[in-house]
Structure 1
Amino acid sequence: MFANLLIILASSLVVIAIFRRVQLPPVLGYLCVGLFVGPTALDWVNESEELPDLAEMGVVFLLFSLGLEFSLSKMMALRKVVFGLGSLQVICSAVVLAGLLALLGMPTNAALLLGGGLALSSTAIVSKELTSLGEIFSSHGQNAIGVLLFQDVVAVLLLTLVPVFAGQSGQAWYLALPLTLGKTVILFVGLLMASRWLLPRLFHEVANSHSAELFVLLALVIVLLTAWLTHLLGLSPALGAFLAGMLLGESHYRHQIEADIRPFRDILLGLFFVSIGMLIDLQLFASHGLEILALTLALLVIKGAVVAALVRVRGSDSETAWRSGLALAQGGEFCFALMAQMQHNKLLPEALGDLLLAATFCSMLVTPLLLRAAPSIAARLHRKPNQEVQLEEIGAQSAALSGHVLICGYGRVGQSIGRFLRQEQLAFIALDDDPVRVQEAAAGEHNVHYGDSRRGELLAAIGLDRARLLVIAVDKTEVALNVLKAARQLNRDVPILVRTRDDSQREELRAAGANAVVPELLESSLMLASHALVMLGLPQDQVQKRVDEVRKTRYRLLHGFYHGAQTSLIDSEGQPKVLLHAVSLGADAYACGRPLGELALEALGVELQSVQRQGNDLKLDASTCLHAGDAVVLSGPLEAIEACESLLLGGR
């Protein structure tokens, strides 16, 4: 067991590092690790009874984390999706797939059972990718999660019905169904009572102890306890973990709980995907490659089309329908367990089962890529009729406007800008790609529209050629850069103001055509410092002069910060943070007696903030000579700071 874990973790370390370098999803890396270290390829990992249990825990932790994002009120709001769209998707997909399996020679009962299994999608992959893409609360994300919740219940029922169809159980299916639903209701009621009266008191006591270890232990105990109780009831442990997370989602501690279990979740979920990859016979791709490709395409097309049609019939637009279909088109992890049980009970021929396992694996393998390409795929599939209508409507509303302001991204920052513009009676139009936010804002404001600001035709429709100012207030710098480039292709002269979290990509944005880049964190720090100086009695004009000087020098004074024990060195976009670090020069330091011009510290990627000698700041120029006891304060990414420190102290 320990050797297996060592091989899997070491292989995953290498493969995931490579996949991140080429910007591929880690899920694909874990699946490939399982495929190649398994018994049909390199055969580095032997069969182990403990590995599947650890892998299942990954799904349990993932579903618990997902449940924390869905409070009970949100779950009730999704009931039409869960029981309406979810039931229709499973029934329609199962009937179509069962019919095709029957044509391949399978008995009717086995075809229906396996068709139901193939109708299920991958909860682990879809929920993880939607979360990482920030689409979990979009229209298609809500559709996908709602359907997946219903599928989890169906998966339990299907696994229960395998011995019934095999003739090895004395319980008929019409008795197994209400029994499973009854157990689910009992579990939900029990967890609801615990979340109302017991768990808040426990978390309050643990929080008062100020012990991080106790908080982590309590979170782990809750996850594992709910999974164990669900297992005792004969239900899916992942279902119980989700219900527990959902009920805890309304507590004040949900963010801390999610942060505590994230490391366990990610590692165990990686083991789950590795175990999925190990089930596949790699040699089968060489001997039956065309059959596997045909089955994979058939599964993706049938399930995707069924979901898209159902979502469209329910009144959603075509883009949401196709993106929902793409999210749910793959096979699921529960299907592997179902096919394994069916083969064990002689309900599924071994040759066909191996091909279906490989096809299901391939459909899961391409899902992260499908989700990332979903916007462009959906646009091609529905030929943009709704987008054209949307462009016409937006264009008609903005046709009479000239000299107005365009706001791309209507989050908190965009809304604040809009309020100031409204007070000054300046016309503006806002775009945002969050359907819930647009729906909320559109109820009181007629000038807020749904759309992707990166689309040049949408920027043209809201009158970019007639605009007085474009404000890009999106939260992600990469998205802001794409919006900026699209805007500059349409209008080379309009002033563009870009809001960013920090100034790590300031020069890139300026080079792409931004007239002004406002780093949010640095500006808030600057404002707070200026208020502090005014409250200390400094003259207003002197404080303003300082503020203007900092802005003129591109916030150099504010670059970097001293990191702490809990500080992450990577920002939300995966870029290294700019840190602040002081290097104290000893008597034998290489830099002693050398001028700053000779050392050329900036060439290593750092900024020299100050040189302090006996508590006083020295004037910084090329001739300033360093002495023993000086403190050289640097700002920059960790790697550059380490290289600079090595030069100052050792000359390397």
Structure 2
Amino acid sequence: MNYIGSLSLILIVTAVAGHLSVRMGLPAVIGQLVSGIVLGPAVLGWVTATSFIKDFAELGVIILMFMAGLESDLQLLKKYWKPSLLVAVLGVVLPIGVIDWCSQLFHLNATESLFLGVTFAATSVSISVAVLKELNVLDGKEGTTILGAAVVDDVLAVLILSLMISLFGSEVSGGGSHASTNLAVSLTIQLAFFIALYFVVKWLVPHLMAVGNALLVPTSVTLMSLVICFGLSYLADAIGLSAVIGAFFAGIAVGQTDYHEVIDDHIQPIGNAVFIPVFFVSIGLNMSFKGFMSDFWFIVVITVAAILTKLAGAGIGAKLAGFSWLSGYEIGAGMVSRGEMALIIAQIGYQGKLLSENRYSAVITAIILTTLIAPILLRHAVKRMKLSAAV
């Protein structure tokens, strides 16, 4: 029953830390992330990233993105798909190029440098979603663009990672044509998934929700919405995409039905009370100060480059799409967080020998530092937008 004790400790510490963060004018997410660092191996060592914590955390990010989809305006997403695409592309290209170059300055080989660029090209919009929801600006044009860009960003990062692994595999085994075939099949399946999503959103989900409403069991509508959420998350993960993409589109689909307000009222307590705090803590649990001093300047340079390239890339993309510089700053800040997406990619690269063992801890530290700084930047950007609108 040790996991019950760990869960209890996480919930009480995140509640207090979140409260203190808000009292200090910071997003509650910061307190929850810091709780993971303090409770984890980096400081006290009271909680470790067990399979139970990881599973709970995965459910947390899925529920968080489902809630984001529920609160998204589909018409706004359609309206801002072009800016989202531009923000995502520039927000991927710039980090890859700059961090690749920075890594080579520290004598990493070409493959490892390119892989680090791909790692920091990813965005964890789940952190930004929590902050935008807290500030009640998730459904604005900037929040909508951030959500749309994050989906494209995740797809691009997964595709580039798949390509790198395929090329790396072909170099090792000499099976170039086989790797290319596998990549082509994966891309075809992923494209089919997005095409199928249109029919799921428009036709299947409304019928499933009607079936759920007819079931003679308590909260049957909410139950059916979770089935849809977890089902699409599983399918997205099974074909090599992020599970959060499936959860986000499940939220959009359910949000178009007549039951979205009831579901939102039921889902928010479930997510915010238990699962979502564990997700934020799980990111902090990955923090380690092993080799911190020996890699200090590498961590500093990569962290600064990761923040500035997302701010600049996404911000310039927003400006080119017709947004103001202040809006571009908010959108760029919303794309800075790397969170679980970058951690997952780093782990895949480490297992695939694309990232060396002596740099792994430093990279994880840089990812967590960007994740800690991102909510502060986003809150500052939103505050400036509100002050500008009030003038």
TM range (shorter): 0.7 to 0.9
State, as a whole percentage, how many aligned pairs show the same letter.
28
Kindly state the Cα deviation for residue 279 of structure 1 after the two structures are TM-superposed: 0.7
Contact 2:212 2:220 in 1 (8 A): yes
Match of 1:102 among 101, 104, 116: 104
- Which consecutive unaligned segments of at least 5 residues does structure 1 have? 379-432, 434-449, 459-652
Kindly state the Cα deviation for residue 126 of structure 1 after the two structures are TM-superposed: 1.1
Alpha-carbon distance between aligned partners in 1 of 2:383 and 2:244, rounded to the nearest angstrom: 33
Kindly state the Cα deviation for residue 25 of structure 1 after the two structures are TM-superposed: 1.9
Letter in 2 for 1:352: R
Letter in 1 for 2:26: L
**When you count strand as a share of all residues, which structure comes out higher?**
1
Residue 373 of structure 2 corresponds to 366
CA RMSD of aligned residues (A): 2.9
Alpha-carbon distance between aligned partners in 1 of 2:282 and 2:148, rounded to the nearest angstrom: 26
Matched, 1:251 2:257: yes
Alpha-carbon distance between aligned partners in 2 of 1:291 and 1:235, rounded to the nearest angstrom: 30
TM-score between the two structures when normalised by the length of structure 1: 0.54
Letter in 1 for 2:123: S
Kindly state the Cα deviation for residue 115 of structure 1 after the two structures are TM-superposed: 0.5
Match of 1:260 among 266, 279, 304: 266
Written as runs of structure 1 = structure 2, the 5 A alignment for 1:232-247 is 232-247=238-253
Match of 1:50 among 37, 49, 52: 52
Contact 1:157 1:180 in 2 (8 A): no
Match of 2:223 among 217, 224, 249: 217
Matched, 1:357 2:372: no
Contact 2:72 2:139 in 1 (8 A): no
Contact 1:117 1:158 in 2 (8 A): no
Matched, 1:333 2:340: yes
User: Any idea what SS the aligned residue of 2:219 has?
Assistant: helix
Question: Can you list the C-alpha shifts for 1:484-512, whole angstroms capped at 9, x where unaligned?
Answer: xxxxxxxxxxxxxxxxxxxxxxxxxxxxx
Matched, 1:452 2:389: yes
Letter in 1 for 2:118: G
Question: Can you list the C-alpha shifts for 1:64-103, whole angstroms capped at 9, x where unaligned?
Answer: 1222233554433232123333223212321222122223
Question: Can you list the C-alpha shifts for 1:538-577, whole angstroms capped at 9, x where unaligned?
Answer: xxxxxxxxxxxxxxxxxxxxxxxxxxxxxxxxxxxxxxxx
Letter in 1 for 2:146: A
User: Any idea what SS the aligned residue of 1:91 has?
Assistant: helix
Q: Which has the larger radius of gyration?
A: 1
Alpha-carbon distance between aligned partners in 1 of 2:331 and 2:49, rounded to the nearest angstrom: 37
Alpha-carbon distance between aligned partners in 2 of 1:56 and 1:63, rounded to the nearest angstrom: 11
User: Are residues 331 and 140 of structure 1, via their aligned partners in 2, closer, same or farther at CA, if it must alter by over 3 Å?
Assistant: same
Residue 81 of structure 1 corresponds to 83
User: Are residues 377 and 177 of structure 1, via their aligned partners in 2, closer, same or farther at CA, if it must alter by over 3 Å?
Assistant: farther
Question: Can you list the C-alpha shifts for 1:585-624, whole angstroms capped at 9, x where unaligned?
Answer: xxxxxxxxxxxxxxxxxxxxxxxxxxxxxxxxxxxxxxxx
Question: Can you list the C-alpha shifts for 1:458-495, whole angstroms capped at 9, x where unaligned?
Answer: 3xxxxxxxxxxxxxxxxxxxxxxxxxxxxxxxxxxxxx
Question: Can you list the C-alpha shifts for 1:498-547, whole angstroms capped at 9, x where unaligned?
Answer: xxxxxxxxxxxxxxxxxxxxxxxxxxxxxxxxxxxxxxxxxxxxxxxxxx
Q: In the comparison of the two structures, how many residue pairs are matched?
A: 384
- Which consecutive unaligned segments of at least 5 residues does structure 2 have? none
Contact 1:191 1:247 in 2 (8 A): no
Letter in 2 for 1:361: I
Letter in 1 for 2:37: L
Question: Can you list the C-alpha shifts for 1:101-133, whole angstroms capped at 9, x where unaligned?
Answer: 223222323322320220222211112212221
User: Are residues 58 and 218 of structure 1, via their aligned partners in 2, closer, same or farther at CA, if it must alter by over 3 Å?
Assistant: same
Written as runs of structure 1 = structure 2, the 5 A alignment for 1:622-633 is none
User: Are residues 274 and 292 of structure 1, via their aligned partners in 2, closer, same or farther at CA, if it must alter by over 3 Å?
Assistant: same
User: Any idea what SS the aligned residue of 1:452 has?
Assistant: helix
Letter in 2 for 1:224: F
Contact 1:121 1:328 in 2 (8 A): yes
Alpha-carbon distance between aligned partners in 2 of 1:325 and 1:195, rounded to the nearest angstrom: 29
TM-score between the two structures when normalised by the length of structure 2: 0.86
Alpha-carbon distance between aligned partners in 2 of 1:42 and 1:77, rounded to the nearest angstrom: 48
Alpha-carbon distance between aligned partners in 1 of 2:199 and 2:334, rounded to the nearest angstrom: 34
User: Are residues 18 and 225 of structure 1, via their aligned partners in 2, closer, same or farther at CA, if it must alter by over 3 Å?
Assistant: same
Written as runs of structure 1 = structure 2, the 5 A alignment for 1:117-516 is 117-161=119-163, 163-167=165-169, 170=175, 175=181, 178-207=184-213, 212-266=218-272, 267-282=274-289, 291-374=298-381, 451-453=388-390, 458=391
Match of 1:13 among 12, 15, 18: 15
Alpha-carbon distance between aligned partners in 2 of 1:196 and 1:328, rounded to the nearest angstrom: 29
Question: Can you list the C-alpha shifts for 1:207-252, whole angstroms capped at 9, x where unaligned?
Answer: 3568642223222222112212223333221111112222222211
User: Any idea what SS the aligned residue of 2:381 has?
Assistant: helix
Letter in 2 for 1:334: M
Kindly state the Cα deviation for residue 335 of structure 1 after the two structures are TM-superposed: 0.9
Kindly state the Cα deviation for residue 346 of structure 1 after the two structures are TM-superposed: 2.6
User: Any idea what SS the aligned residue of 1:280 has?
Assistant: coil
Alpha-carbon distance between aligned partners in 1 of 2:112 and 2:293, rounded to the nearest angstrom: 28
**When you count helix as a share of all residues, which structure comes out higher?**
2
Letter in 1 for 2:309: I
Contact 2:38 2:44 in 1 (8 A): yes
Contact 2:63 2:271 in 1 (8 A): yes
Alpha-carbon distance between aligned partners in 1 of 2:49 and 2:381, rounded to the nearest angstrom: 37
Contact 2:49 2:285 in 1 (8 A): no
Kindly state the Cα deviation for residue 174 of structure 1 after the two structures are TM-superposed: 5.2
Contact 1:188 1:243 in 2 (8 A): no
Residue 61 of structure 2 corresponds to 59
User: Are residues 201 and 127 of structure 1, via their aligned partners in 2, closer, same or farther at CA, if it must alter by over 3 Å?
Assistant: same
Kindly state the Cα deviation for residue 291 of structure 1 after the two structures are TM-superposed: 4.9
User: Are residues 286 and 27 of structure 1, via their aligned partners in 2, closer, same or farther at CA, if it must alter by over 3 Å?
Assistant: farther
Contact 2:48 2:285 in 1 (8 A): no
Contact 2:311 2:333 in 1 (8 A): yes
Alpha-carbon distance between aligned partners in 2 of 1:65 and 1:36, rounded to the nearest angstrom: 28
User: Are residues 205 and 307 of structure 1, via their aligned partners in 2, closer, same or farther at CA, if it must alter by over 3 Å?
Assistant: closer
Name the structure, 1 or 2, with higher relative contact order (CA <8 Å, separation 6+): 2
More displaced stretch, 202-211 vs 128-137: 202-211
Letter in 2 for 1:277: G
Contact 1:219 1:261 in 2 (8 A): no
Contact 2:65 2:248 in 1 (8 A): yes
Question: Can you list the C-alpha shifts for 1:182-209, whole angstroms capped at 9, x where unaligned?
Answer: 3233323444434444432343354356
Kindly state the Cα deviation for residue 161 of structure 1 after the two structures are TM-superposed: 4.3
